[in-house]
Structure 1
Amino acid sequence: MAGKKWNVGIIGCGHIFDAYARLSSVFEPINLVACSDVDMAIAQRRAQQYGLSALAVDDLLARQDIEVVINLTNPASHAAITEAILKAGKHAYTEKPLALTMVDANRLLEVAEKHGRLIGSAPDTFLGGAHQAARRLVDEGRLGEVKSGSAHFMNHGMEHWHPNPFPYFQVGAGPVLDMGPYYITALVALLGPVRRVIAMATKFYEERYVSADGPAKNTVVPVTTPTTSQALIEFRSGAQIHFSVSYDNWGHGHSNPIELHGTKASLMVPDPNYFGGALTLIDAGGRQGIDTATTVFGNLNWQEPAGATISNYRGLGLADLLAAAENGRTARASGQLSRHVLEILLAIIKSAEINDFVAIESTVARPEPLGEDDAALLKAADAPSTFAA
């Protein structure tokens, strides 16, 4: 049975806007009606493209019929914009990270509670078919007790393809805060909360040369944050995970983005930056491949410009948050989860600076698994099956 349709606005019409706008039609609860940006010319172009109202930020927040707002601004603005959304009496869903400091993250959760509104945050890829399949295997005890594992993200940066790579190499970003949320959120959803971390970090270059087309082409980006980090993460369950992220590598041989090793089996988990993919379970009986392409949110639906077709369901976390608001339950991609993940990421950065363990003060319950029946309720009956590049 169809649930409530919520009128949704977006603040921030930059790089990730298109994915949220195009994919909004996939989800039963989402009715995208308006957008805003500090550059109103951009907002007006996006509004015309998608049949939305282009509004100034204050006007969007004042619209009584808009009940939920997605925050797609730059990370440095996340906390302030999300706080304004909540104080306007609207539910808030923000791109990652939730904030850049724990002070801001804690305040956002307090403001949400005070105003009786829900706050959620990307990433929501852990709700996709692949990572929910991994969750089922862990919950069923197929791995036994997970004792160790690894997670790797390695590339050579984005200055060769991104039109504005500057923020990625500044304090408040780097691979830990940019890509780390995907990996740490997936691991917390699988293994539970973290107890402590220890890390080391470095950067290969003091400057990066921009070769991507755009206004920044042929300019130089100063690097003011570590671009390679190695961490050992101890979970409260006792699991120990090696986490490695880098914008400095020319290539690598880590074909499995996440590996979990338990007393009964090992599990190879696909890239947490995506919703789908195949898993491999290895136990005493041999090797078993697990395809998730037929699951509700693992189905291949999005053609990349390079030609590959992937599973892309950005906005799934928001759809779940809206269902949670309607049914009086906790959202899966909740503010509490993203706060815990942020503390872990900041602890990795701090540990590398002080050369010591950093304890994690917050905790969080693992989000409830998203079964196929519940997933189907979040998908619109007339959802497009594919999206061309």
Structure 2
Amino acid sequence: MDPMGVGVIGTGDISDVYLANLSRYPRIVRLVAAQNRTRPKAERQAVRYGIGTVHDTVEELLADPQVELVLNLTPPEAHAPINIAALSAGRHVYSEKPLATSLEDARRTLDHAHDLGLHLGCAPDTWLGGRAQTMRDLIDSGEIGEVTAGVATIVYPGLEWFHPSPFQSYRADVGPLADIGIYYVSMLIALLGPVRQVAAMGKKTFDERTAHYGPIAGRPIPVEVETHVSASLEFEQGAVVTLLVSTDVPDSQLPRMELYGTRGTLCMPETEPMAGPNTFGGPLWIRTLDDARYKDIPRPAPTPWTEAENRHRFNETDFGADPSVPRINSRGIGLVDEVLAIAEGRPMRCSGDLACHVLDVIESIYASSRQRRFVEVASSCRRPAPLPADFPGPQV
């Protein structure tokens, strides 16, 4: 196959890891054009990653005949309008998460892609990493029996302590669920399939927070959305999973994600800060009924968890030791899969259908919390195929 020409719109902080990773797939993608609201940022990234053309406007980039697929790394409020414009220009799209800041706009974008026969992909792609794909292997092989329940938690003091731009996490149209919790919801759906209904409660603990990191330290952050949300998700396959997303927790021995089967448990621990399902690799623990201490009375001392053998690539170390690229990121493999799916005529994994269902689940959680009732999730999606063992790794 000839490599597909990719034009990136938005060359801010997150673009480094995308461009570094994608530049390692020269036989699949070519980084041909860049555009940013401030041209110097686009020029710096173009020099750094060998991007030949810098455009002043989105319209110029979309008119560039080299661009076959648009990588949209703009802020969330710009996702829907730019994605729709790119599709209208006949370009495939891969968007940063969330697909849009409202379910209505996400559905409009998805419908537009379907009508035009174009591919629409969306982050997160962290569930394509080695740890989650090993979980998928163990689930599909029946190693832990039928998955009946689980728990997924992300609790911390808030993005304002370590992020250069934490504001979207507290805006009404994004919030912690669509900013951070989306990694957990996406991974659960990728592992278990679509969600049928939800029940939730939430609260907004503070009306205003303060930035503590970088040049914006000291700035007030208005809070427009619930910042502590506890939800129960019933999946179409029958499992009931508890989801806890909170930016109101000073410290905890959480987070982690666990899935409970009829014969055993899978545990995805966070062994370092912010290294849960929002990352590609790390340890995965398993304990089956043969190892569990609860079957015996009196209970013996707990046996150690067994670390599951990672059976896949994209487990933190594939992309070398460039200190400018966060080692917990292999972001962009979802886009690589999209390009291969186009060439091979098969469904892509990080699809717009999946992203739209994820956003539907998130909006249903908010609706359940505010209305104090169970909420049926209107949409569904296919459970994406697992990543094959021969999926290409970095080529340079």
Asked whether the equivalents of residues 161 and 211 of structure 2 are also in contact (C-alpha less than 8 Å), the reply is yes
Give the match for residue 47 of structure 1: 46
Give the match for residue 267 of structure 1: 266
Residues 177 and 161 of structure 1: CA distance in aligned 2, closer, same or farther (over 3 Å): same
Alignment partner of 1:31: what SS?
Answer: strand
The Cα shift of 1:64 comes to 1.0
Give the match for residue 237 of structure 1: 237
String of CA shifts for 1:83-115, please: whole Å, max 9, x gaps.
011111010000001112222111112211222
Alignment partner of 2:159: what SS?
Answer: coil
Counterpart CA distance in 2 for 1:81 and 1:347 is 25
Q: How does 1:168-183 map to 2 (within 5 A)?
A: 168-183=169-184
Alignment partner of 1:172: what SS?
Answer: coil
The Cα shift of 1:334 comes to 0.4
Residues 8 and 306 of structure 1: CA distance in aligned 2, closer, same or farther (over 3 Å): closer
Give the match for residue 224 of structure 1: 224
Asked whether 1:334 is paired with 2:334, we answer: no
Give the match for residue 166 of structure 2: 165
Give the share of equivalent positions with the same residue, in percent.
Answer: 38
Deviates more, 1:322-331 or 1:50-59: 50-59
Asked whether 1:7 is paired with 2:5, we answer: yes
The Cα shift of 1:342 comes to 0.6
Q: Which amino acid aligns with 1:317?
A: G
Give the match for residue 117 of structure 2: 116
Asked whether 1:358 is paired with 2:359, we answer: no
Counterpart CA distance in 2 for 1:223 and 1:102 is 21
Q: Could you tell me the TM-score, scaled by structure 2's length?
A: 0.90
Asked whether the equivalents of residues 276 and 310 of structure 1 are also in contact (C-alpha less than 8 Å), the reply is no
Runs of 4+ in structure 1 deviating by more than 6 angstroms, as ranges, are 304-307
Counterpart CA distance in 2 for 1:319 and 1:90 is 15
Alignment partner of 2:23: what SS?
Answer: helix
Counterpart CA distance in 2 for 1:281 and 1:40 is 49
Deviates more, 1:185-194 or 1:43-52: 43-52
Deviates more, 1:98-107 or 1:44-53: 44-53
Asked whether the equivalents of residues 176 and 245 of structure 1 are also in contact (C-alpha less than 8 Å), the reply is yes
The Cα shift of 1:254 comes to 2.0
Asked whether the equivalents of residues 168 and 179 of structure 2 are also in contact (C-alpha less than 8 Å), the reply is no
Asked whether 1:320 is paired with 2:337, we answer: yes
Deviates more, 1:201-210 or 1:234-243: 201-210
Give the RMSD, CA atoms, in angstroms: 1.8
Q: Which amino acid aligns with 1:322?
A: V
Asked whether the equivalents of residues 151 and 243 of structure 2 are also in contact (C-alpha less than 8 Å), the reply is yes
Counterpart CA distance in 1 for 2:143 and 2:107 is 36
- Give the unaligned 5+ runs of structure 1: 383-389
Alignment partner of 2:97: what SS?
Answer: coil
Residues 204 and 369 of structure 1: CA distance in aligned 2, closer, same or farther (over 3 Å): same
Asked whether the equivalents of residues 5 and 29 of structure 1 are also in contact (C-alpha less than 8 Å), the reply is yes
Q: Which amino acid aligns with 1:108?
A: T
Give the match for residue 289 of structure 1: 307
The Cα shift of 1:48 comes to 2.7
Residues 302 and 357 of structure 1: CA distance in aligned 2, closer, same or farther (over 3 Å): farther
Counterpart CA distance in 1 for 2:309 and 2:144 is 18
Q: Which amino acid aligns with 2:367?
A: K
Give the match for residue 381 of structure 1: 395
Counterpart CA distance in 2 for 1:291 and 1:90 is 40
Residues 291 and 142 of structure 1: CA distance in aligned 2, closer, same or farther (over 3 Å): closer
Q: Which amino acid aligns with 2:128?
A: L
Asked whether the equivalents of residues 163 and 213 of structure 1 are also in contact (C-alpha less than 8 Å), the reply is yes
Q: Which amino acid aligns with 1:42?
A: K
The Cα shift of 1:155 comes to 1.0
Deviates more, 1:66-75 or 1:296-305: 296-305
Counterpart CA distance in 2 for 1:330 and 1:119 is 11
Counterpart CA distance in 1 for 2:268 and 2:165 is 31
Aligned length: 373
The Cα shift of 1:303 comes to 5.2
- Give the unaligned 5+ runs of structure 2: 270-275, 292-304
Alignment partner of 1:370: what SS?
Answer: coil
